[in-house]
Amino acid sequence: MANSKYEYVKSFEVEDEVMFPNVIVVRIQGRNFRGFADAHEFEKPNDERALNLMNSCATSVLEDYHDIVFSYGFSDEYSFVFKKESNFYKRRASKILSLIVSSFTSVYVTKWKEYFPEMELRFPPSFQARVIVCASLEVLQAYLSWRQNDCHIKNQYYTCLWKLIKSGKTEVEAQEILKGTQKQEKHELLFQQFGINYKTIPNIFRQGSCVLKIEVEDIVKYANNGNPIKRVRRKVIMVHSGNIASRSFWNSHSCLLKELGSFAEDINKVKPEFVKSFQFEQKLMPFTWIVVRIDGCHFHRFSEVHEFEKPNDGQALNLMNSCAVAVLEEFRDVVFSYGVSDEYSFVLRKDSQFCQRLASCIVSLIVSFFSSMYAMKWREFFPQKELKCSPYFDGRAVCYPSKEIIRDYLAWRQVDCHINNQYNTCFWMLVKSGKTKREAQEYLKGTQAQEKNELLLQHFSIDYQTLPVMFRHGSSVFWDKVAARTHFGYIDDFTLKILELSH
């Protein structure tokens, strides 16, 4: 293979498999959601429509991912629990968290109009995500209890805070009044000053929401003797519960018992060492170039559904490029990016402290923001085409220690672009000229670059070198320091550009 010279760069990719028997939980959390809520005039402290939209996105995630059996969310966060035996994407943490956060974000954008029909999306919503590894069911139970307790505490605090502000206090005064107050005192404040019985506040605000799978029996048909023939089916439902970590709630759902197990005892207090483990995260190696590569998930199908031109759809590629420009404008530590087909690689400066170099944070923010942009900008690039399904991407972060290796990484991706594009151009020309896909495949088997060029020239009068450079070489986005704007173009020497731009 022509690209074998560069393939060694793959060895820098590290394993991040979550081992059995750990239970995988993915938690997503809004990025700058306070600003997002203000910009979209969310009601304070809770906006029911915004919460319903979050629940609807979670429902869609549970419907799309068979291995997720339970989820819990409040405010701008949601936690997704995978079944114990899950082998989803070989249990690779980065793959899993990026797919979930990307799907969630993309659905959030596409469903926005349903929940906020009178309000334009003013800027892209995005979420960060991480994997929480629960070593036992007892740990999972503690995790859920910890999250729901946070919901209780925050909701009670913000209910009081906004009541005080609405009654004329400044935000600072309201904060002072609430400083150091206990649960009971807040209850009394609400009751005595505002006539509010906290318990009568809607469950969705006080308790958060659960989206989970239950088992239902359907009658599929009737036997000759008239007896119904039943089939057990899983269905996604949304419920509220005052204590999701209690035995009475958990153990009453057969699907949870089957896929995760039962809670042995009720818990009163979450052990601090458990909470510490929920917060633990690995950092990426310092003083290395971080590359975040994202790749469209099932884009083979996505491109069929949306009738992309074959082998290259200029508009689809321009949409990818436009999202990459937005990423560079949003995340200033990204100094260079290179894209081809449904993938994009973002290079962060060597001394970047973005997200304190936490891999899951960096990957999820970039992939989520990119997905959000892709869904938001769709209309601009395809005004005649409806977005029929949510686009989503996976992502990973890899560290490269020297400029030679980062150059080889980019060369590896660009050689890949060249090989694939040349093959695909020949393949689709043969198919368009009447060959079946199998015949075209057979025809091209074992052919070298030169032979492919000749085939194109002799049979189809196409000089490969004259095809659009975007198709042949891929696209790059980087900052033009002089003009202080993002530059978009096609260049040969990546290393020079990166070094020039990051110092």
Residues contributing to the site for ligand GTP (CB under 6 A): 295-300, 303, 308-313, 316-317, 341-342
Q: What does 313 interact with, of Mg ion, ligand GTP, none (CB < 5 to 8 A by kind)?
A: ligand GTP
Contact 103, 131 (CB under 8 A): no
Closer residue to ligand GTP in complex, CB, 30/311: 311
Q: How far is the CB of 266 from ligand GTP (least distance, A)?
A: 42
User: Closest residue to ligand GTP, Cβ-based?
Assistant: 300
Q: What angle do CA 190, 196, 200 make, to 5 degrees?
A: 125
Closest separation between CB of residue 90 and Mg ion, Å? 17
Provide the angle, in degrees to the nearest 10, between the axes of the packed helices 48-64 and 93-115. 130
Question: Which of ligand GTP, Mg ion, none does residue 63 bind (CB under 5 to 8 Å by kind)?
Answer: none
- Least spacing, CB of residue 391 vs ligand GTP, in Å: 10
From the list Mg ion, ligand GTP, none, pick the one residue 18 interacts with, judged by a Cβ distance below 5 to 8 Å according to partner type: none
DSSP conformational letter for 22: P
Instruction: Select 36 or 65, whichever has its Cβ closest to ligand GTP.
Output: 65
Residue written as token pair 């003013």 = 122
Nearest to 211 by CA among 70, 74, 80: 70
Residue 105 CB, nearest approach to Mg ion (Å)? 17
Instruction: Answer yes or no whether residue 295 interacts with Mg ion by CB under 5 A.
Output: yes
Please tell me whether residue 299 binds Mg ion under the rule CB under 5 A: yes
Q: Give whichever of 295 and 330 is closer to ligand GTP, judged by the CB atom.
A: 295
Among ligand GTP, Mg ion, none, what binds residue 90 when CB lies within 5 to 8 Å by partner kind?
A: none
Minimum CB distance to ligand GTP, residue 300 (Å): 3
Give Cα 352 distance to the centre of its chain.
Answer: 22
What single letter denotes the amino acid at residue 366? I
Residue 316 interacts with which of Mg ion, ligand GTP, none, CB < 5 to 8 Å by class: ligand GTP
Name the DSSP letter for residue 118.
T
342 interacts with Mg ion by CB under 5 A: yes
Say which residues have a Cβ less than 8 Å from residue 38's Cβ, sequence separation at least 6. none
State which residue, 300 or 485, has the beta carbon closest to ligand GTP.
300
Q: Which is nearer to Mg ion, 74 or 471 (CB)?
A: 471
SS (H, E, C) 377-426: HHHHHCCCCCCCCCCCEEEEEEEECCHHHHHHHHHHHHHHHHHHHHHHHH
Contacts of 457 (CB under 8 A, 6+ apart): 463, 464
- CB of 297 vs Mg ion, minimal distance in Å: 6
Q: Which stretch binds Mg ion (CB under 5 A): 70-78, 291-299, 318-326, 363-371?
A: 291-299
Identity of the residue numbered 176: E
| Phi, psi of 348, rounded to the nearest 5 degrees | -95, 150
State yes or no: residue 416 binds Mg ion (CB under 5 A). Answer: no
Task: Map tokens 């209690």 to a residue.
Answer: 246
Nearer to ligand GTP, 106 or 246 (CB): 106
- How many residues are present in the chain? 503
Looking at beta carbons only, is 247 or 310 nearer to ligand GTP?
Answer: 310
Nearest alpha-carbon partner for 409 in 14, 1, 6, 2: 6
Residues that bind Mg ion (CB under 5 A): 295-296, 299, 342
